[in-house]
Amino acid sequence: MAAKHRSSLRQMDVHPALAPLMFLTGTWVGSGRGDYPTIQAFAYDEEISIVPLGAKPMLRYSQSTWRAGTKEPLHTEFGYFRPAGTDAAELVIAQPTGITEIHTGGIDGRGVVFRSVSVERAPTAREVATVERRIAVDGDRLTYELLMGAVGQPHQLHLEATLHRS
């Protein structure tokens, strides 16, 4: 009980350096569409959670998608947002597909564009060269586009989705 109370208090004690990124926080539910020259286009349902990492100056990011209208899991990933001053941020991500991403991003109001500075792969993972993540929040609506250069294809749109704060 005491530990639980302490944990609630800690969650309210958000680090001030997170202020420029707080517009991203919440549980977001929605749907999206994926396409790429090497695959069939597909529709997906999605849930994203972005919350402060206790009292530390980072946000914890988790995401899962399912084939649209089903409970069939598609992708999931996990990472952390790190503020870098008042108008920039970093994003680090690990994926069960064996990929890690590190991004730097510029914050413009309630939008942020992350471009990969590192995309690394485990030996058995697919080749991904570049990733770009454009995220915008308007009220209780979050939209994003994910562009990717992978498996020999040029950098291009791969995913776009619209989610609402739940």
Task: Spell 34-59 as b/e; 16+ CB within 10 A means b.
Answer: bebeeeeeeebbbbbbbebbeeeebb
Structure tokens at 108: 């413009």
95 binds its own copies (CB under 8 A): yes
Structure tokens at 126: 């697919």
Q: Using CB under 8 A, which of 1, 71, 139, 152 touches its own copies?
A: 71
Q: What's the one-letter identity of residue 3?
A: A
53 binds its own copies (CB under 8 A): yes
Nearer to its own copies, 72 or 140 (CB): 72
CB 18 within 8 A of CB 57: yes
Structure tokens at 43: 């529709």
93 binds its own copies (CB under 8 A): yes
107 binds its own copies (CB under 8 A): no
142 binds its own copies (CB under 8 A): no
CB of 138 to its own copies, least distance (A): 27
Q: Using CB under 8 A, which of 92, 129, 136, 146 touches its own copies?
A: 92
